Structure 1
Amino acid sequence: MEYIRVTKENLEKEHICCAISDNKDIQVSSKKAWLADRFDEGLVFLKSVERGKCFIEYIPAECAWNPIEAPGYMYINCLWVSGSFKGHGYSSDLLSRCIEDSREKGKEGLCILAAARKKPFLADPKFLKYKGFEVCDEADNGIQLWYLPFEEKTEPPVFKECAKHPHINERGYVLYYTNQCPFNAKYVPILEETAQKNGIPFKAVKIESRKDAQNVPTPITTYALFCDGEYVTNEQMNDKKFLKLVGR
């Protein structure tokens, strides 16, 4: 299995797997701009040499754009293997490389978001359990923090208090999102336009900094939709899905 590590030096010429259009596409440019600022913080983006959705993206947990307390851990932003790559051991191989790299860097373990049942854009809990991960914390909305310690008796990571009880004091639909997910650059404006045309109260809150991301009222920061203060979903949606959700 051959991989390419995306870095500052080759970022412009490499595709980024989850959005494989050219650099002029807003989804690609927004994600690459976000990545460019993370490499100096220790972010690693490792992908298959073949074009497609087969990659792992991880970063020291202190620099993760999530409200977690995980000193000494490596946080996996995304491990995504799909399409023709599935069933050939890529997920296990990419995870093994992350573990090896994290050990070499003196990390105490790995952590990642998931749920008891597989949710879109989150890790598969069955795969994590098979690989030795365990649940170390869970928010009220069912989002779980899983961890894989490298040594016994290692202190497990936890969610910050702000993320354990996802709730906001605003009416209508409120979406928190970042440019970590390239799809947001395309679909968030679509939701804003759809809401405006249909008289649906909607506000998009773009998280612009790590500090803000580490203090939002939800474990998931890439995409978290609330309605009348209550958490609804982390699944990106187009106009049709949004109107169906709203009941229009």
Structure 2
Amino acid sequence: MQETIELITLNQENIAREHICCALADKKSEKGISLKKEWLKSRFAEGLKFIKANVRGKVFIEYIPAEFAWSPITAPDYMFINCLWVAGRFKGMGLGSRLLEECIKDAKDKNGIVILSSKNKKPYLADKKFLLKKGFVVCDTAPPFFELMVKRFKDAPLPRFKENAQKLRIEGKEDLSILYTNQCPFTESYVQEVEEAAKEYNLTVGKKRIISREEAQNCPSPYTTYSIYYKGFFITHEILSKDKFMKIMDNLLVVK
């Protein structure tokens, strides 16, 4: 069955009419979808690929040469996978493998492929069990749970997290700091939800949208798409609704 499902590669000509999978049913993210498409269009010349299954669902892979990755890693002449996502109802159809094979074909002349994962399964991070089956191994770690995984094609130096990715600290006068990019169409609207929720705790909020690769590569966390810091300390990389944020804050305040 999986062989009958078409794979579509987005480009400058078709991106306006094609959906980008992530936010199909999320009306709140219409602005974010537009910003995400603009972000993609700005990366195509750098070699970014966004390939999706021709279905009404989240089945896609997004990757880019690692020197252009919006991630604080050192991985010369590797390919970096930004995101590999197969929604639940499409699992077991071989689509994840097919999408990964597209990346492998494009990276065949490079040193290998790298991707961000985690010790235990976490939202928005690649599934470690799947990657291990596909020949990836852990090549570096960063607190509190991030893992960099690699599939090498050549005997080349292993990719590493940059030193700044180990910090998980941010300077600022605000109680809450949010760093985010337009790599994900959800970030724009959900940052606003967290801002609203923060008012109920009388928290000051500082938000910063990362607008360049250089900024992203110097972030204090491996996951640059979105991260929240409370009193300067990293608390989550998950893109939070108001309710989820409030649960985290309630737990933090109880602990303190």
Indicate conservation of the 8 Å contact 1:173/1:228, yes or no: yes
Shift of 1:14: 0.2
Partner of 1:46: 51
Moved over 4 A (4+): none
Written as runs of structure 1 = structure 2, the 5 A alignment for 1:25-104 is 25-103=30-108
Matched residue type, 2:96: S
* Helix, strand or coil at the partner of 2:107: helix
Range 198-207 or range 37-46, more displaced: 198-207
Partner of 2:136: 133
Shift of 1:213: 0.5
Unaligned residue ranges in structure 1 (runs of 5+): none
Indicate conservation of the 8 Å contact 1:81/1:91, yes or no: yes
Aligned residues: CA RMSD = 1.6
Partner of 2:169: 167
**2:49 matches 1:12:** no
Shift of 1:229: 2.1
Separation in structure 1 between the aligned mates of residue 149 and residue 241 of structure 2, nearest angstrom = 29
Q: TM-score, normalised by structure 2?
A: 0.91
How many percent of aligned residue pairs carry the same amino acid? 47
Written as runs of structure 1 = structure 2, the 5 A alignment for 1:149-160 is 149-151=152-154, 153-160=155-162
Shift of 1:173: 1.8
Q: Residue by residue, what CA displacement relative to the aligned partner does 1:137-165 show, whole Å, maximum 9, x if unpaired? A: 111222111111012x2211001110023
Shift of 1:89: 0.8
Partner of 1:116: 119
Matched residue type, 1:203: G
Matched residue type, 2:246: L
Separation in structure 1 between the aligned mates of residue 123 and residue 139 of structure 2, nearest angstrom = 21
Matched residue type, 1:157: P
**Could you tell me which of 176, 198, 203 is aligned with 1:200?**
203
Matched residue type, 1:239: K
Indicate conservation of the 8 Å contact 1:67/1:215, yes or no: yes
Indicate conservation of the 8 Å contact 2:84/2:96, yes or no: yes
Indicate conservation of the 8 Å contact 2:120/2:145, yes or no: no
Shift of 1:176: 1.0
Separation in structure 2 between the aligned mates of residue 198 and residue 172 of structure 1, nearest angstrom = 10
Partner of 1:148: 151
Shift of 1:64: 0.4
Matched residue type, 1:172: D
Q: Residue by residue, what CA displacement relative to the aligned partner does 1:81-127 show, whole Å, maximum 9, x if unpaired? A: 01321111111111111101211xx2110000001101000001111
Unaligned residue ranges in structure 2 (runs of 5+): none
Shift of 1:197: 4.7
Shift of 1:44: 0.2
Indicate conservation of the 8 Å contact 1:139/1:166, yes or no: no
Separation in structure 2 between the aligned mates of residue 118 and residue 246 of structure 1, nearest angstrom = 22
**2:40 matches 1:3:** no
